[in-house]
Amino acid sequence: MIPLIQKPAKSPARDRRQHTRYGFSTTLRFRPAVGNSFPWKSGRMLNMSASGILIGGSEKLLPGSRLELLADWPGFFHGAGHVRLLVLGEVVRCEDAAIALRILHHEFQALEGRARKTPAATAA
């Protein structure tokens, strides 16, 4: 009997990402997104796409955990010279010294007229 649907031939492992990743290295702060009682921890953004962010950090987090992120955004955004990126993300995997997040919500905040502070200084 000939099957009506054939299994595709096995191919070498391929990248299943839907969006291009961009190397983007900047410091950031993150904490669990379950209230303001948790302290901010330091990390580093390693790369990002339209739907996800890879951050460096030694935390071991469970997939499905939600995090808040704060990062200074370089350059201009809609005429603002200094902006901060705020992200609500969900952990999709945590391996080695990296945490992969799915972006659930993001927002840019213009910080014009304020002294430039790092996320570490403003989150503390």
Class of domain 22-123 (CATH, top level): mainly beta
Q: What 8-state DSSP symbol labels residue 77? A: B
d(CA 73, CA 83): 5
Ordered by start, the domain boundaries in the chain are 22-123
* Phi/psi at 8 (5° precision): -65, 150
Whole-prediction pTM value? Answer: 0.70
Residues of the chain with pLDDT > 90: what percent?
Answer: 38
Per-residue model confidence as pLDDT tens digits over 76-120: 555 656 788 999 999 999 988 899 999 999 998 877 654 444 455
CA 117 – CA 3 distance, rounded (Å): 64
E strand residue ranges, the chain: 22-32, 41-48, 52-56, 66-73, 83-95, 98-110
CA distance 110 to 73: 10
pLDDT digits (tens, 9 = 90+) for 28-64: 999 999 877 899 999 999 998 889 999 998 788 999 9
DSSP H or E segment with residue 17 = none
